[in-house]
Each structure stands twice: as structure tokens, then as C-alpha cells.
Amino acid sequence: MGSIRSVADVGIEALAVHVPRHYLDVGTLARANGVDPGKYCFGLGCRRMAVVAPDEDPVVLAVRAASGLFERYDIDPACVGMVVVGTESGVDAAKPIATYVHRMAGLPRDCRTFDIQHACYGGTAGLRMATGWVLGGLRPGKKALVIATDVARYEIGSPGEPTQGAAAVAMLVGDEPRVLRLEPYPEAVHTEEVMDFWRPTYRATALADGHHSIECYLRALEGCWGGFTSSSGLGLGAFDYLLYHSPFPKMAFKAHKRLYELATNGAAGFDPDYERRVLPTLWSNAEVGNAYSASLYVSLAGLLEHAEVDAAGKRVGLFSYGSGCCAEFIAARVGDDAAAWRGRTGLRQVLAARREITHESYLRFRQGHEELARDGSFRTPLAPDGVAFCGTWNHQRVYRDATWPAAVASARPGDTCPPSDVLRPAPRPARAQAGD
């Protein structure tokens, strides 16, 4: 009979990040929009925003994050028994991203796959679901793969535009939590039906009641913190680092200010406290922009990969907020051998490999996405190698991956590369359904 485990034995065993290969400097965006760059850079705390090329989408980011995780930590994909994708950038109203990941990351068939949607809370919901699944113990020896993947898109010229970004974070969840161990305190959650940020299914871009959304976020933080402190007995001083969902870095500043006021009754000393406990978690968010469900875990990777921080064994508080809204505060411990894992998240490598683009290219990339999303716009992918989104054909998204025939995989940009029976079975002729 196996030993009885508690949530203290469960958490993140490995974590890897993938970001798009281009970024736009927010100063460039400000000048193009006729806005003082100080507003985007200092008012919002943004620096660069990750921009997806037409052949990158939430699926491609997720698959690349998962493949990076398996390669850099030398993990056999056969250990995965469940894939949960947290996303609010769904590419299909029915078919989950998790199924694409399952095939392209080479995962075993005896595997459960599904997506979770609750705005930016989806990744945390996936993490909680995965820890419960591990503790349930019905798949001994198996691990859960949780991926938070998102592409944040607002209307051009809207207040949300400078906060755009994209990233995917893949996390292997199991009972050897060397990266992050979740502490066994009672759940501290907050739900409230609000209309602060949303994306109707007929739109490609999100809508936000921006200032209202900030108030909803802060109210949810107060709710979670109140629940956490009363059930755990822990105060702010118990935490070495606080990681807040960061739609833009200034939001984390506002959140910590609110928490600090609550926890200390407005005592002096906020600024050094913020610089010590929060600032080291934000540099990666400033590089990537809002990655919605992945943002909190981009912060975690940033802390683990911080050049001047040794996070080993440190207690961190994670505040996850998903508009709509649901939020949670989680206490966790970074693994004692964090230094040994430094570099494995891939964060610094993927950031260093990026190229800056002009404002004109950014606008062209957005148009390219619209074109590829139109049915029948399948074309040769732009990226020289690896997983790529090629377009939509017969109402199906087509991806290039390792299983493509060599002739197609080696096609060069500009080549015409129509899909054929080689790539996927010819679709059956459409038949009229009863009631059509």
C-alpha cells in the first residue's frame, strides 16, 4: 500500500518557457501611436512586447514549450498521463489545443487531454487540477503536463495595445517537485461575476473596461489575501518573494501596494519592500508583455533565472487573476537545488534569440494572421524549421511538424505548397445533414 501523500509533496518538477521569435519595442509603438513613450514605459512599466509571426500561434508556442521541457530536463514524454492546457486564445470552439500538443510533442496514447479556459487564471486552474490528479494516485508513476499558452491581442490604437504579448510555459507536475513545491494551506480563492475583460467568440481581439478591470483585480486580491491569512496564520513577512499576475508590470506594483497597506496598516517602507520582494520577478514580464494565463509563470521563470537572485528554498506567494473573474493566492517553496536548474527553463535562450521588428512589420504580421485564419489560405510556413502554423484548409488548421514528409518540410519561403493527400486524408464530400 502506498504512503499517504499531502499537497506538500506535489508541485512543479520542471518548467520551460517559449516566446515568439520577434518583439516590438513599446517606445516604437508609442511613437507610431502619437503617445508619449513615458506612458507605456513608466506609466505601465512595459518595455517590449512579444509579437507572433503569422506561422506562430498558441498551439505552436505550447508545442515548442513542451518540447523544450522534455529536451532540457531530459524527460521521457512517455511519463505523461495527462495534458492540461490553460488558454484564453482558443483556436477552435471545440477541439482542444491539448490534442495538437499531444500529437506534436509525441505523447503516449494512454493520456487524458483537455483545455481549461478562465481568462488568465487558466494556467493556475490547470496546475491545481494536475496536483489533485497526482494526489488522487490513480495513475501511479505518471506525471501531468500543464501548459499555459496565450497570445494577447487588443485593437490597434486601443489602451490595451501596449500591454500585448505572448508566451507559453510548460510545467511537469508530479510528486518530485524540485522546481516548486505547493504548500498545504487551505485554498484561498475569490470569484465574482464581473465584466472587466472579455473576448466574444466572434472577435479576434479582447475588449476591456480597463480601469474597472484594475479595481476588480485589486478586490479579488483583497479577497484571496483575507482568506489566506485567516486560514494559514501567515503574514506578508513570511514571504521572500511575491509574484502577481502581471498584465503590465505596473499592475504588480499596484497590487503589492494594496497588499502592503492591508498587511501593515499603511506602515512606511513600501518602496524598499517592493524592490526586494516583487521587482526581481518582473523583468521577464517587461520583455514579453502580457501572456495572459502564462504571465504568472513567466514571472516564476524570471525569478528562477534572475542573475542576482538565489531563490533556492525561498517561500513565494503567487497571485493568479483571471478576468470575469476568479483569483487565487498560493504559497509555495522553490526547490533547494534551484541553482542546479538555472538555465533549464530556456527563458534567457529564447529571449536572446529574438529579433526586433518595425511597427510596419508588426502591422503586417497581424494581417498575415487574418489571412492564414481564413479557410483555404494554407501556404508554406515562414519559419525555416520546427513546428509552424501553415494556415487553414478545409476548415482544419494545418501544422508543420516532424511528421511531415521531407519534401514538404524542406519547402522554402515563397514556394507554393498546397496540402495533398500525403499530408492528410482527402476530406469526404460534404453530405447534407437532416435538418440542414
Residue 44 makes contact with ligand CAA by CB under 6 A: yes
Near ligand CAA in 303-322, by CB under 6 A: 321
Minimal distance in Å, beta carbon 387 to ligand CAA?
A: 26
Residue 157 makes contact with ligand CAA by CB under 6 A: no
Q: Is 245 assigned a catalytic role? A: yes
Residue 43 makes contact with ligand CAA by CB under 6 A: yes
Of 70, 100, 217, 225, which one interacts with ligand CAA (CB under 6 A)? 217
206: three-class secondary structure by DSSP: coil
Q: Write the binding mask 264 to 293 for ligand CAA: x where contact by CB under 6 A, - elsewhere.
A: --------------------------x-x-
Of 213, 299, 320, 380, which one interacts with ligand CAA (CB under 6 A)? 213
d(CA 195, CA 212) in angstroms, rounded, equals: 8
Residue 169: phi, psi to the nearest 5?
A: -125, 125
d(CA 304, CA 342) in angstroms, rounded, equals: 7
d(CA 249, CA 263) in angstroms, rounded, equals: 21
Residues 6 or more apart in contact with residue 220 via CB below 8 angstroms: 190, 192, 321, 325, 326, 327
**Residue whose CB is less far from ligand CAA, 211 or 276:** 211
**Residue whose CB is less far from ligand CAA, 183 or 222:** 222
Residues 6 or more apart in contact with residue 174 via CB below 8 angstroms: 10, 13, 134, 143, 144
Residue 33: phi, psi to the nearest 5?
A: -90, 0
Of 27, 31, 39, 342, which one interacts with ligand CAA (CB under 6 A)? 39
d(CA 241, CA 244) in angstroms, rounded, equals: 10
* HSE-up (13 A, CA, CB side) for residue 243: 29
Residue type, 350: V
Of 91, 156, 195, 214, which one interacts with ligand CAA (CB under 6 A)? 214
Q: Which of 18, 102, 190, 245 is catalytic?
A: 245
Q: Which of 13, 22, 46, 88 is catalytic?
A: 88
Near ligand CAA in 237-256, by CB under 6 A: 245, 247-248, 251
Q: Which residues bind ligand CAA (CB under 6 A)?
A: 36, 38-39, 42-44, 120, 159-160, 163, 196-197, 208, 210-211, 213-214, 217, 245, 247-248, 251, 290, 292, 321, 323
